[in-house]
Chain A
Amino acid sequence: MLAIKYNLRSLFVRRLTAFATLGGVALVTFVLAGALMLAAGAERAMASGGREDVAVVLRSGSDSELASSIDVQALGTLRAAPGVAAPGGEPSVSPELVSVVALPKSDGSGLSNLTVRGVAERAFALRPNLSIVSGRLPAPGTNEAIVGRKIVGNFHGLEVASDGSGGEVLLGKNRPVRVVGVFQAPGDSAESELWVDLDAARSALGRSGLASSVRVGLASGADLAEFRDAVEGDKRLGLDVQSEADFLESQASGLASFIRVLGSLVSVMFALAAMLGAAITMHGAVASRAREIGTLRALGFSRGKILSGFLLESCALTLGGALLGVGLALPLGWVEISMMNQASWSEVVFGFEPSLRVLLSALGLGAAMGLAGGVAPAVRAAWLRPLEALRA
């Protein structure tokens, strides 16, 4: 349409100042898109792999595996609880010991915390999405270990041993474990963990007879609620039950919402500045085009048409910036960052996750900036008196 053409081309004529505004808006949406992508990435990396038919048992009142400790005597009760799957006659119950270990980082930046998970063989059966990407599974009952693909190489010695050199991590005095494989487990924070044999972990960390959490596979068709009622109902056990999906979600949500809230807050403040930038551009556009506006009015264009034309011009400006910002943010999809997760006191590695929601939020912010910044100048343009405007 011609009127749109008029407003768009006017932007182009003023391309230097228009570009300055566009750049500001692009930067704002870049920040917002980056934060939302990162939050989505954290959730996806840590929480999307949880299953509904696996229950996670923690000590009652503990909100993380790190703070939980369960006596092995409780395992018997869990094995006998209703709804527990028992492939091949053996109940699908996996006690796991989780701890964090301070280890030197391989980039020389000092000590950082690594999550170590001691597991029995059954743990693998409960995680069908876990697979070895290089090396092999550890032999049960040995000091062999495997490392999640996200964190391999991040700590000193945290890689597959090659011919007796490297691949050794000290979990305690004279208690080395040997890394024999790298695994992936999409959507599970385990990808940022070191997995060792349960008994090796217990003796290295001096916690014999204890587990941090117990994962329980439920028989197909079994009800989580039934299992939960049975376990939580036994007050002597003092245990809490939730689905693995809920558990991983709760572990990730703190970090994800921290990123999301902080990112949104910062970008809204940034948006205020960029919105004023758009307002300055549009104000200048209206001032220097008073004659043109007067002409249009004299030709019979109504106030509404002038108003919408200038609002459109303003939105085109900021939406263009928003698209640019999102475009610049998309390549972040290849970047992975390492951050401390408050829930586990250890480092998790995750990436930026592009999604339609990110795109829509960024465009929404862009449009909002255009409308908010353009409304005053547009009203001014629409209410210019044609005769006075023509004399300008």
Chain B
Amino acid sequence: MIGGTGISLGRIALRNVTRNKARFVMTLLAVAVSVLIYMTLDSAKRSWDGAKEVSRQDRLVTRHKITFVLSLPKRYVARLANAKRADGSPLVESVTYAVWFGGREPNHEHEFFQSLAVDADTYFDVYDEVTLSEQALSDFQSNLDAAIIGQGLARKLGLKVGDRVTLESPIYPSSSASGGEPWSFRVAGIYGSRSRAVDTQSFLFRYERLNEALAGTSRDQVGWLVSRTPPGADPQETARAVDALYADADVQTLTQDERAFVSGFLGMVSTVLDVVTLLSLAILVIVLLVLANAMGLSVRERAREYASLKALGFGARDVMRLILLEGVFLSLIGVAIGAALSMCVIDLGVGRFFEENLTQFFPVFEVRPETLAGCAVLSLLLGVLAAAAPAWSAARAGVGVALKRVA
């Protein structure tokens, strides 16, 4: 007689939750879909913030003070490289520079990628996360028509080492001062990256190639300088020292470390982040409403049963606890399914897509432990909230009235 598993409030709650199969399945589905949306939005937001974290504070970007559209004189490069601190040590460790080329590949009109004219000798010293074979590097350094492209871009454009590729640029229509020549390059190497701070979607070619095609005021100009602060040096202080170098020149500069630069950019799109936050809240409210709806219906149907429990001597508190447990179970199961679904969808599909195609914004797009923890807490909260009103009314209902009421 005594053996077997005893019953408990928890067991009753679990059975009640699964009793109406159709409703159980629909509720789980609704919660799971909502959790998928919520986790995608939350992961996007965290990933965006993550762009800040992986960016390097020891890398400084120096631009035209007024506008990024305008360029800096090339002689600024040497001046920065030779600048000394008060103790005679160099102000920055290494300096390189780049020009925004704005190129497009005519056969892949809709693929957006960054194309830069860079200094072959110094660029990879500053961006030391880049992995590139010795052979490719020496090819790039010794041949003017050589280009180095990222793995991701190579895949998108279907290029391999040795291929020739032609770019078009609205900013630099022709590759020769006399006009008419197209921008044609030979792929000398394909680079990878050890860090999420450097994407593999860029097209890099020799600065000399661009400069020799230009005449007049646009010659010997660079878009921006990039330098590395020596170990132990304060990035902000160094940035101020860099700007001080050019304070009396015609063109002043604005120097920021990479992280501040990314933050500034994120600030410009902060409206989008606000909207994402609002949408996450909205979907939580929808989950709450769906759960409350399901709980309301099932408690209504079971008014008699709860009254019977009370008639047997269970207290109002027990009934309330039972219904709250039902709400929490329902919510937990739904959220767990949704979380598992999200991890499959985000970590295997959507996330990889964002990481590869929008590395600058979403360097790491994955479900973070914080997101999962947040979901667990939320599911408890939502379950209790959704069951609160039905639990309260069932606990207060008189036994006689509820027993008599025809369901």
Chain A interface (Cβ < 8 Å from any Cβ of B): 14, 16-17, 20-21, 23-24, 27-28, 30-31, 59-63, 66-68, 99-102, 109-113, 171-173, 204-207, 238, 266, 269-270, 272-274, 276-277, 279-281, 283-284, 287-288, 337-340, 345, 347
Contact = CB atoms under 8 A, between A and B. Distances in A.
Contacts of A276: 26-27, 29-30, 33, 290
Given A269-B37, A276-B26, A283-B23, A238 B173 contact: yes
A68 B171 CA distance: 7
7 contacts: A21-B293, A61-B170, A110-B264, A173-B250, A272-B33, A274-B286, A276-B290
Interface stretch (B62-70, B84-92, B130-138, B226-234): B62-70
B333 interface: no
Contacts of A17: 292-293, 296-297, 300
B66 A63 contact: no
A266 B289 contact: no
Interface string B155-196: 000000000000011110100000000000000000000000
Given A67-B102, A112-B267, A339-B272, A279 B26 contact: yes
Contacts of A284: 23, 297, 300-301
Given A102-B68, A337-B271, A63 B26 contact: no
B254 interface: yes
Interface residues of B, number: 53
A67 to B, nearest CB: 5
B91 to A, nearest CB: 22
Given A17-B293, A100-B69, A112-B267, A269 B33 contact: yes
A347 B33 contact: no
Contacts, number: 148
Interface string B278-322: 010011011101101110110011000000000000000000000
Interface string B252-291: 1010000000011001111110000001001101110110
Given A66-B69, A100-B69, A276-B26, A281 B293 contact: yes
A340 B69 CA distance: 16
B285 A27 contact: yes
B372 interface: no
A85 B263 CA distance: 48
A213 B209 CA distance: 28
Contact of A20 (B66, B70, B250, B293): B293
Given A17-B293, A20-B293, A67-B170, A270 B282 contact: yes
B34 interface: yes
B407 interface: yes
B67 A102 contact: yes
Residue of A206, A277, A338 contacting most chain B CB atoms (<10 Å): A277
Nearest to B248: A173
B268 A347 contact: yes
B7 interface: no
Given A171-B66, A276-B290, A110 B267 contact: yes
A16 B251 contact: no
Contacts of B1: none
A269 B34 CA distance: 8
A110 B268 CA distance: 9
A27 B286 contact: yes
Contact of B66 (A24, A102, A337, A339): A102
B389 interface: yes
A27 to B, nearest CB: 5
Given A277-B30, A284-B23, A206 B170 contact: no
B22 interface: yes
B271 A111 contact: no
B69 A99 contact: yes
A53 to B, nearest CB: 27
Given A59-B170, A67-B102, A173-B250, A273 B70 contact: no
Nearest to A24: B289
Contacts of B173: 59-61, 238
A314 B289 CA distance: 17
B26 A280 contact: yes
A102 B313 CA distance: 73
A24 B69 contact: no
B264 A277 contact: no
A63 to B, nearest CB: 7
Residue of A20, A21, A67 contacting most chain B CB atoms (<10 Å): A20
A384 B71 CA distance: 77
A279 B27 CA distance: 9
B30 to A, nearest CB: 4
